[in-house]
Amino acid sequence: MTVTWSAPGRVNLIGEHIDYTGGPVLPFALDLRTTVVLERRAAGALEVTSQDFGTVTLSRSPQPGGVGGWARYVAGAVWAFADATGRAVPGLSIAVSSTVPVGAGLSSSAAVECAVLGALDEECGTALSRRDIAEIAVRAEREFVGVPCGPMDQLVVMLGEVDSALLIETRSLHTEAVPLLLRDSGLTLLVIDTRVRHELADGAYADRQSACARAAAVLGLDFLSDATLEQLHGLADPLLRRRAHHVVTEVRRVHDVVALLRSGRARDIGALLTASHLSLAGDYEVSSPELDTAVEATLAAGALGARMTGGGFGGSAIALCRTPEAAEVAARVRAAFAEAGLGPPDVWPATAAAGARAATS
């Protein structure tokens, strides 16, 4: 029996680095997907093959710390599945292929984890819900891979809908579709992959999360996203104050963007996207020269707004453009990279797509 599942990457429209502070986020699933094909094999081990990285053999019972490189995302999903369901994973051949660029801030890791988990669920007959799979994928990322992520990526990968963003209240995990009808408004959202790769497990991501936790503790709050701007005066440490200032203002921006999209005013969200980038670059210090170049070039070319998306330190930016101007904006950002002596970015229009699914659905 062959089981095939695919799962999308994602773009976070707004709400960056606040999912682990209890704040709301607004991602959408991309029309770029990771596909996983499972087949039973006589040997007891797991043979995992990637179109980009080759083949490795894994134990059917991998343990945290025992697998490195790209295969740890597959191994983490296997480990978390077995731990959550109590089901032993049989010997399998697992083939992974993907159009989601790795390290681009578009959640290639969650796409792999969710596609593997969906395929394992079907193969083993465990009847997990989509939310179950998202929760197990978060455990894989946190406890096996070692990235202290929030739940945003895995939830939108599993629950994304066509032409919609997904408002996620990360504290309660309540989700709600928000219309993202950019075409109807004559708009295009460009993704600019800087091709500068980052590794969120290298400590910088955890440092930001730790700073937010310390700021919340100083303010006597369970969740830093509950803070007000006035309360930030109680943070004597200027670093913690800057980190917290990003969180508080980003929470407001998410609510404002949701309100505009619901009222059919998608054109008006551009200034909020740009404000988000300035906050991420200044208060949160997670941008990079390449991301700043992408944002500045698109704005200079007439984009309505632009910002980095994802964990930062490289990866991708997004730019909201009037559709007739999108090709010129893309050309201008490529020219700006060349003028700055940077490698060429990859630029394409993003479409809000459906979440993970079996091949037959």
Q: Any idea which residues carry the catalytic annotation? A: 153
Instruction: Give whole-number Cα distances, 79 to 17, 96, 114, 124, 273, in Å.
Output: 27, 17, 13, 14, 38
For 336-359, letters b (16+ CB in 10 Å) and e give bbeeeebeebebebbbbbbbbbee
